[in-house]
Amino acid sequence: MGYGFAAILRRDLLLAFRNRGEIANPIIFFFIVVTLIPLGLTPEASRLAVIAPGILWVMALLASLLSVEGLFHSDYRDGTLEQLVISPQPLYLMVLAKILAHWLITGLPLTLLAPVLGMMLSLPSAGYLPLVLGLLMGTAVLSLLGAIGAGLTVALRKGGLLLSLIVMPLYMPVLIFGASAVQRSVDGFSVQGPLAVMGALLAFSLLISPFATAGALRVSMHG
Partner 1 sequence: MWQWFHRLGSPRWFYQTSGKWLPWLGGITFLLLIIGLVWGLGFAPRDAKQGNSFRIIYIHVPASFLALAGYYVMAIAGAVGLIWKMKLADMVMKSAAPLGAALTFVALVTGAIWGKPTWGTYWVWDARITSMLVLLFLYMGVMALQHSYTSVDAANRASAVLSLVGMVNIPIIYKSVDWWYTLHQPATIKFTEAPTMHPDMFHPLLVMIVGFYCFYALVLILNTRSEILHRERRSSWVKNVVLQNQR
H or E segment and range at residue 69? none
CB of 209 to partner 1, least distance (A): 9
CA distance 214 to 83: 13
How many angstroms from the chain centroid is the CA of residue 121? 21
Q: Is 162 in the site for partner 1 (CB under 8 A)?
A: yes
Piece in contact with partner 1 (CB under 8 A), picked from 69-77, 85-93, 123-131, 160-168? 160-168
Degrees to nearest 5, angle at CA 120 with 185 and 32: 120
CB of 61 to partner 1, least distance (A): 14
Q: Contact with partner 1 (CB under 8 A): which of 129, 168, 199, 206? A: 168
Q: Contact with partner 1 (CB under 8 A): which of 21, 46, 158, 188? A: 158
Q: Contact with partner 1 (CB under 8 A): which of 85, 108, 155, 206? A: 155
Cβ–Cβ under 8 Å, residues 93 and 2: yes
Q: CB under 8 Å to 75, separation ≥6 — which residues? A: 81, 84
Q: Which amino acid is it at 200?
A: A
**Residue with smaller CB distance to partner 1, 106 or 209:** 209
Q: Contact with partner 1 (CB under 8 A): which of 101, 201, 202, 210? A: 201
Instruction: Answer positive or negative: Cα dihedral of 85, 87, 88, 90.
Output: negative
Q: Is 212 in the site for partner 1 (CB under 8 A)?
A: yes
Count residues binding partner 1 (CB under 8 A). 28
| Per-residue binding letters, 169-198, with partner 1 (x by CB under 8 A) | xx-xx--xx--x----------------x-
> Environment class of residue 128 by beta-carbon count within 10 Å: exposed (0-12), middle (13-18) or buried (19+)?
middle
Closest of 217, 213, 218, 219 to residue 100, by C-alpha: 213
CB of 62 to partner 1, least distance (A): 16
**Residue with smaller CB distance to partner 1, 169 or 188:** 169
Cβ–Cβ under 8 Å, residues 17 and 106: no
Q: Is 103 in the site for partner 1 (CB under 8 A)?
A: no
CB of 135 to partner 1, least distance (A): 17
Closest of 129, 137, 149 to residue 173, by C-alpha: 137
Interface positions with partner 1 (CB under 8 A): 148, 152-153, 155-156, 158, 162, 165-166, 168-170, 172-173, 176-177, 180, 197, 201, 204, 208, 212, 215-216, 219-220, 222-223
